[in-house]
Amino acid sequence: MPDLLEVKNLKTGFHSENGFLPVVHGVSFNVKQGEIVGLVGESGSGKSVTSLSVMRLFHDTPGEIVEGEITYKGKNLLDLTEKEMTSYRGKELSMIFQEPMTALNPVLKIGRQMRETIMMHMGMNKKDAHQYAIETLESVGIPRAAEIMNEYPHQLSGGMRQRVIIAMQISCNPSLLIADEPTTALDVTIQAQILKLLERIQAKTNMGILLITHDLGVVAEICDRVIVMYAGEIVEEATAVELFENPQHPYTKGLMNSVPKIGSKKKRLDSISGTVPNASNMPKGCKFAPRCPYAMPICQEKEPGLIASENHSARCWLLDEETVKEEEKQIDY
Amino acid sequence: MNSLQTESAEIEQSKSPNSFLQFWRSFHRKKPAAISLYFVLLLFIIAVIGPFITPYDAAEPNYNNLLETPSLAHFFGTDEYGRDILSRIIAGARISLSVSVSAVTIGAIIGTILGLISGFIGKWVDKLIMRICDVLFAFPDLILAIGIVAILGPGLKNVVIAVAFFSIPSFARIVRGATLEVKEMLFVEAAESIGAGRLRIMFKHVLPETLPTVIVYFTMNVGTAILAAASLSFLGLGAEPSSPDWGAMLSVSRDYIGTAFHLVFFPGLIIFLTVLAFNLLGDGLREMLDPKMKD
Amino acid sequence: MWRYLIRRIISLIPLLLVVSFVVFMFIHIIPGDPARLLAGKEATVEEVEMARVSLGLDKPLYEQYFVYLKGLLTGDLGYSIKSGAPVSKLIGDRILPTLGLTFLSIAWALIIGILIGIISAVFRNRWPDHLGMFTAVSGISLPNFWIGLVLIQIFSVQLGLFPTGGAEGFKSYIMPSFALGAGIMAMIARFTRSSLVESMKQDYIRMGRAKGLGSKQIVFGHALKNSLIPVITVAGLQFGFLLGGSVVVETVFSFPGLGTLLIDSIQFRDYPVVQAEILLFAFQFIMVNLIIDVVYGFLNPKIRLE
């Protein structure tokens, strides 16, 4: 399958009073057509900034993409003018956000917000767009869609709103959907429904989905492939099956231990101690070393590269047998 | 605020807390506010030493120089009695500043105390004070002031009372809001739990926390007060027409519009610049002291 | 919505009563004998006594207040000392020019203020923003009577374009409304800017961009409506500023409105007129705020559909 999206060496950061603070440090990955890729990490890992970079959504923020390539269907999005990019958003690449409660404009009716996208990207008149919007709403499982078109966002529940947003963002048949924590703000039962919905849409339209989440449970549910990010870097990448069977990076292992297993009697989760380092004071060596239970002396000094095998790659010195031997020798003496 | 902004805001906050020196430095980075501060300081100095530095006697008529246009001898020209307008403006600084500053000070003290009581004690006391404020708010500021002067009679002393009066409710509301916020904070509870008296908590712990808000509001209100006092004098309800009060000067010079415009121009300009300086200073302080107000 | 409206009106009744009581007390707070104040400076002792009885000033205070309230409800505001005419008629003659002046002022202040605010917000921290905000802070700091005098000097004396005063024809409203509206225009501009900047930070704006909306659609189709709702409220609060300012501006332009009537009456100690005018200004202010509340409720679907 061809690459739908290919991100190469992406560097993004924020301008602040103390100068430029990099948040994403040279990230590369791809999403193929018909694939659901999970982008996983704690808050502050740079996963949201990565996804916003793909959409180039840094208006009215101090964020800036400083380096890299984002190739979509063979075209580098970073070369497009803002106007060209605008015509891509919603039509070619779409995005749904974490907070369904605030992502819809509270003073405009659902219908108006649905129609404007459709009229703009599909060149329909108001009447056709209205009909098409109702059909799209129905396709994501919204009952009494025609009535909802005349209602305001605050009249709907959180789950309904997220459905409306999904309908809005897939209405123009984009090839790539970026879903930034689409279920985090919802009740558990609704979460499952929304994930099922995304899976169904994907199967029907064969679009690529980049799913950003901090929840490995969500990944296990629907993703084909997983990218784990830590402190602005990719630390592990594998197919979902492979990753869950054989996690290689200590960070990924830590994340897995913090997922509650069904039937497990443990009440508390083993979460990783400490927090993601601040953008303004990154550790010198491996960025995870300060929190890593297996850290070796070299980890504090030198940053490891991605060590790849088939279907799997991870950024950790432990995977480099020679280094491990060297380190062990030093400890022995 | 969306998550991205929260993230970048968190990065911003890694700055160290402000010491006075840092405060002073970053205040100076705000040029309009810094210039305004020096202008206001200059005005206060002029208000104190004004009578000693006027080039001419501000009150002495000179019938040889009536209505002279601005020249090297008289930078702002002379008025209908041949008095030097620059000298009168310098002499008037004391009147304008003392009237407005004392009025706002009185309003601020009474308003702050009412706001503290209202916010801190709550219950019916709060309700009563807030209802009184509602009633005062129902009268447009200047109308309230005019009404008070109509009762008490014209004159600068009554202008001070009138302006102080309409400043009270807004200070009361603002301090009440700030007090309610402070009340939620831990150290107030802690002070209560170790049995500190209410009055003590109110003045030793709550008041200092609300001071930044009061200072910002005070600065901006001085500007408003100068305008209000000038308006009252202009309407003939404030300073004596013969006094060098800026508003009174404009009131008299109205009759010379078309013949000697400088009589109108300079006193108005100085009122404008003074009020502008207080407003810009207030804006600058607000940005510094009240992070919530930042864009 | 209706329930909201009715609740708002009912909640105003106590305020209206207290305000009317405060204004009623006006004549009793003034140092001196109310009967003498109301009978006029030249009245003889007999005339003062007659006034006391005919105006009911010999009755207890609460009874006088009820009589006063009854008068208010039937449009009886007493009689002018100066002319002997009913106060309601004096006010009636002057109210239209003043209303026209204030509405013209607020109309252009809203239009230009919102425009400056939008430009400043869109070009945030660039020169149009700095220029717009400097204009705004200047507008707040300018004494409106001085604006009036400068306008007269330029447009009446020098250019002869507009009359220096009066209220004859639309032309005579232009300069006063400009002088009166400048301050409120400035406040609206500042508030529109900060409100719009705040709206532009909201999630639904980012969502709109993700849908592929251009900057124009974002600002005018999405952000502006949300930002203008609070601007309306601020405009209402500043209306008091306009009412007070009208007294001063009318004096500058010798404009035959409520403001000049108020100042003339204060100078003549025509207390019944002063009292009625202050009450009228307060009621106008309260009413405008009620209207603003209703408009706010109407614009905000959360309140409207409640």
Q: Are residues A161 and A20 in the same domain?
A: no
Q: In this structure, is residue A69 part of a structural domain?
A: yes
How far away is chain A from the Cα of C224, in angstroms, using its nearest Cα? 10
Which among C194, C245, C251 is the nearest to B295, CB-wise?
Answer: C194
Q: Is the domain of A117 the same as that of A217?
A: no
User: Residue B231 and residue C282: Cβ atoms within 8 Å?
Assistant: no
| Domain extent for A85 | 3-92+174-261+272-332
Do A64 and A190 fall into the same domain?
yes
Rounded to the nearest angstrom, the minimum Cα separation between A260 and chain C is 31
| Residue A95, φ and ψ in degrees, nearest 5 | -145, 140
Interface residue A127 vs chain C (CB under 8 A):
no
Residue A44 touches partner B, C-beta closer than 8 Å: yes
Note whether A31 and A71 are same-domain residues.
yes
Mark whether A59 and A118 lie in a shared domain: no
Q: What is the pLDDT of residues C74-83, one digit of tens each?
A: 888 888 888 8
Cβ neighbours of residue C254 under 8 Å, at least 6 residues apart? C164, C165, C166, C260
Residue A104 maps to a domain: no
Q: How far is C213 from chain A (nearest CA, A)?
A: 7
Chain B residues with beta carbon closer than 8 angstroms to that of C144: 231
Tell me how close the Cα of A176 comes to any Cα of chain B, in angstroms: 22
**Degrees (nearest 5) of the Cα angle A180, A185, A190?**
100
Res. B10 pLDDT band, cuts 50 70 90: very low
> Does an H or E element contain A209, and which?
strand A208-213
Q: Tell me the pLDDT tens digit for each residue of A262-280.
A: 544 444 445 667 777 777 7
B129 within domain boundaries: yes
Q: What gap in Å lies between CA B85 and CA B91, rounded to an integer?
A: 10
User: Which of B8, B167, B235, B270 should be substituted to probe chain C, the one whose Cβ sees the most C Cβ atoms within 10 Å?
Assistant: B235
Boundary residue ending a domain (A129, A146, A169): A169
Do A143 and A53 reside in the same domain of the chain?
no
Note whether residue A102 is domain-resident.
no
Q: Are residues A197 and A306 in the same domain?
A: yes
User: Between A17, A23, A102, which is nearest B12 by CB?
Assistant: A17
Q: Does the pLDDT of residue A130 top 90, yes or no? A: yes
CA distances from A187 to A25, A87, A162, A191, C7 (A): 34, 34, 12, 6, 36
Indicate if A192 and A139 belong to the same structural domain: no
Q: One-letter amino acid identity for B17? A: P
- C146 vs B271: CB contact, 8 Å cut-off? yes
Q: What is the pLDDT of residue B292?
A: 52
Q: Which among A57, A105, A116 has CB closest to C210?
A: A57
Final residue before a domain boundary, out of A169, A184, A218 = A169
Are A280 and B3 in contact (CB < 8 Å)? Answer: no
C266 and chain B in contact, CB less than 8 A: yes
CA distance C292 to B162: 28
Q: Do residues A323 and A239 both lie within one domain?
A: yes
Which portions of chain C are predicted below pLDDT 70?
305-306
CA distance B15 to chain A (A): 8
d(CA A226, CA A203): 18
Chain segment B197-233, per-residue pLDDT in tens? 777 777 777 888 888 888 889 999 999 999 999 999 9
| Chain A neighbors of B2, CB-CB under 8 A | 97, 99, 102
Please give the full DSSP string across A265-307, using - where no structure is assigned.
---S--PPSS-PPPTTS--SS-TTGGG-TT--HHHHHS----E
In this predicted structure, the answer to whether residue B290 has a pLDDT above a threshold of 80 is no
Which residue out of A60, A80, A178, A184 would a mutagenesis test of the C interface target, given it has the greatest number of C Cβ atoms within 10 Å?
A60
Contacting partners of chain B (3+ CB pairs under 8 A): A, C
Listed residues A150, A169, A188: the one ending a domain: A169
Q: Is A298 on the interface with B (CB under 8 A)?
A: no
Tell me which chain B residue has its CA closest to the CA of residue A99.
Answer: B2
Can you give the residue range of the structural domain that contains B264? 84-293
Q: Does B13 touch chain A (CB under 8 A)?
A: no
Percent of chain A with pLDDT over 90: 17
Q: Is residue B16 assigned to a domain?
A: no
pLDDT tier at B13, thresholds 50, 70, 90: very low
Cβ–Cβ below 8 Å for A52 and B4 = yes
| A55/C211 Cβ within 8 A | no
Q: Please, what is the average pLDDT of chain A?
A: 85
Domain count, chain A: 2
- Closest-CA residue to B130 (of B161, B160, B174, B164): B174
- C200, C203, C211 member nearest A60 (Cβ): C200
Query: What does pTM read for this prediction?
Result: 0.83
**Would you say residue B73 lies in a domain?**
no
Q: pLDDT value at position B9?
A: 45
At a CB cut-off of 8 Å and minimum separation 6, what does A226 contact? A37, A38, A40, A219, A236, A237, A238, A239, A240, A243
Give the number of A-C residue pairs with CB atoms closer than 8 Å: 81
Q: What is the mean pLDDT of residues B146-165?
A: 91
Q: Would residue B56 count as lying in a domain?
A: no
In 3D space, the residue among B175, B265, B279, B266 whose CA is nearest the CA of residue B227 turns out to be: B279
Looking at residue B11, its pLDDT comes to: 43
Domain membership of residue B22 (yes or no) is no
Decide: C95 and C101 in contact? Cβ < 8 Å: no
Phi/psi region, residue A231 (left: phi>0; alpha: psi -120 to 50; beta: rest), is left
Instruction: Say which CATH number the domain at B259 has.
Output: 1.10.3720.10
Decide if C213 and A103 are in contact by the 8 Å CB cutoff: no
- How many other CB atoms sit within 10 Å of the CB of residue B106? 17
Is there a contact between A39 and A210 (Cβ–Cβ < 8 Å)?
Answer: yes
**Average pLDDT for residues A41-58, to the nearest whole number?**
87
Does B279 contact C149 at a Cβ distance shorter than 8 Å? no
Is B70 among the domain residues?
no
Looking at beta carbons, which residues of chain B come within 8 Å of A46? none
Please check whether residues A32 and A81 belong to one and the same domain: yes
**What is the DSSP track for chain C?**
-HHHHHHHHHHHHHHHHHHHHHHHHHHHHSSS-HHHHHH-TT--HHHHHHHHHHTTTTS-HHHHHHHHHHHHHTT---B-TTT--BHHHHHHHHHHHHHHHHHHHHHHHHHHHHHHHHHHHHTTTSHHHHHHHHHHHHHHHS-HHHHHHHHIIIIIIIS--S-SS---STHHHHHHHHHHHHHHHHHHHHHHHHHHHHHTTSHHHHHHHHHT--HHIIIIIIIHHHHHHHHHHHHHHTHHHHHHHHHHHHHHTT--SHHHHHHHHHHTT-HHHHHHHHHHHHHHHHHHHHHHHHHHHHH-HHHHT-
Contacts of A212 in chain B (CB under 8 A): none
Contacts with A21 from chain B: Cβ below 8 Å: 11
Same domain for A40 and A58?
yes
**Could you give the C-alpha distances from B228 to B91, C87, C284, in angstroms and in order?**
19, 27, 20
Chain C: touching chains (3 or more CB pairs < 8 Å): A, B
Partnered with residue A314 across adjacent β-strands are A236, A307
Are the C-beta atoms of residues A97 and A165 closer than 8 Å to each other? Answer: yes
In a domain, B35, yes or no: no
Q: Find, in chain B, the residue whose alpha carbon is nearest to that of A18.
A: B12
Q: What is the pLDDT of residues B228-266, one digit of tens each?
A: 999 999 998 988 888 888 999 998 888 888 888 888 899
pLDDT band at B161 (very low <50, low <70, confident <90, very high): very high
- The pLDDT-based confidence of A318 (bands split at 50, 70, 90) is confident
Distance from C198 to chain A by nearest Cα, in Å?
10
φ, ψ of residue A208 to 5 degrees: the values are -95, 140
Structure tokens at A299: 């980890």
> Does B10 map to a domain?
no
Q: How confident is the model at residue B15 (pLDDT cuts 50, 70, 90)?
A: very low
| B74 secondary structure, DSSP code | S
For residue B175, give the DSSP letter. H
- Domain match, A291 and A195 both: yes
